[in-house]
Amino acid sequence: MPFGLIIVGDEILSGKRQDKHLPKVIDLLGARGLSLHWARYVGDDPQRLEAALREAFAGGDVVFSCGGIGATPDDHTRQCAARALGAELALHEGAKALILERMQDVAREQGVPHEPDRADNVHRLNMGVFPVGAELIPNPYNKIPGFSVGTVHFVPGFPVMAWPMIEWVLEHRYAELFHRNPVTEKSVVVYGSMEATLTPLMEEIETRFAGVKVFSLPSVDHPQHGRHIELGVKGAAELVWSAYPALLAGLHRLGVPLGPELVR
């Protein structure tokens, strides 16, 4: 099952904050034998965000959406998700209970009375307004939940909250996928060649070994290897171990100088 990632926020696109979600989600998936198939950055633009979420709901992939589920005027994710689904928004009773519990915790920590009817506390309940039918994602940091609709999962933009929530979703919804189809990569450093020269060989390998992907990663200023191309194959282990010798044989036929081999 393909996995996707949507990262929401003008602050990422403007450079005010550096995105940390992409490498972390790749790590969280990789530790479970899974991989990220696509990622998308979207600013706080309701029309673009709604379009991105409509595609996510229709696509059938497992998608994590990070950011924009708060209750300030620049948070649009909950509303856009509902419009993309053609669903109504409503206060989720489970979310309401958790948010009220969080209010009590904060009042206790601050040594002040718990006042759930105070205007700012009433406003905080908006963080539990989700598309009707949504399921909760627990938040171990401050109890304010995220939500899931089908295979699209919405978490806050804060890494300290988002990452354990994504892990929870993986462990509770997709554990049967872990390490089911482990991907192996094997490659070699190629010196003194160009991608155009290597392309026919790459196409030949992909034709001969269905299910294997051939990749080419050129570098012009590597501190150790200088100008070179890392050429390799990736896919199921048994396919890679068959395809890689054929790739090496093709490189030897071309007479290109080779460097170290890499296995991931």
| Residue 208: band (very low, low, confident or very high) from pLDDT cuts 50, 70, 90 | very high
* 161-189 average pLDDT score: 95
List, as own/partner pairs, every contact residues 179-184 make where C-beta atoms lie below 8 angstroms and the sequence separation is at least 24, other chains included: 179/32, 179/33, 180/33, 181/33, 181/236, 182/33, 182/236, 182/237, 183/33, 183/35, 183/234, 183/235, 183/236, 184/234, 184/235, 184/236, 184/237, 184/240, 184/241, 184/263, 184/264
The pLDDT score that the predictor gives to residue 181 is: 80
The pLDDT score that the predictor gives to residue 22 is: 98
Please name which of 172, 94, 101 lies closest in space to residue 130, comparing C-alpha atoms: 94
| Residue 1: band (very low, low, confident or very high) from pLDDT cuts 50, 70, 90 | confident
Distance CA 218, CA 212 (A): 20
| Residue 247: band (very low, low, confident or very high) from pLDDT cuts 50, 70, 90 | very high
CB 52 within 8 A of CB 42: yes
33 CB-near residues (< 8 Å, 6+ apart): 177, 178, 179, 180, 181, 182, 183
Residue with tokens 């989600």: 25
The 3-state DSSP class for residue 55 equals: helix
The pLDDT score that the predictor gives to residue 242 is: 95
The pLDDT score that the predictor gives to residue 127 is: 96
Domains of the chain, earliest start first: 3-177 (3.40.980.10), 183-263 (3.30.70.2860)
User: What's the pTM?
Assistant: 0.88
pLDDT above 90 (res 81): yes
Q: What is the pLDDT of residues 104-158, one digit of tens each?
A: 999 999 999 989 899 998 999 999 999 999 999 999 999 999 999 999 999 999 9
* 79-89 average pLDDT score: 97
Q: What is the pLDDT of residues 212-241, one digit of tens each?
A: 999 999 999 888 889 999 999 999 889 999
Q: What is the mean pLDDT of the chain?
A: 95
The pLDDT score that the predictor gives to residue 264 is: 78
* 240-264 average pLDDT score: 94
The pLDDT score that the predictor gives to residue 149 is: 98
CB 67 within 8 A of CB 77: yes
pLDDT above 90 (res 183): no
pLDDT above 90 (res 254): yes
* 71-79 average pLDDT score: 95
CB 191 within 8 A of CB 225: yes
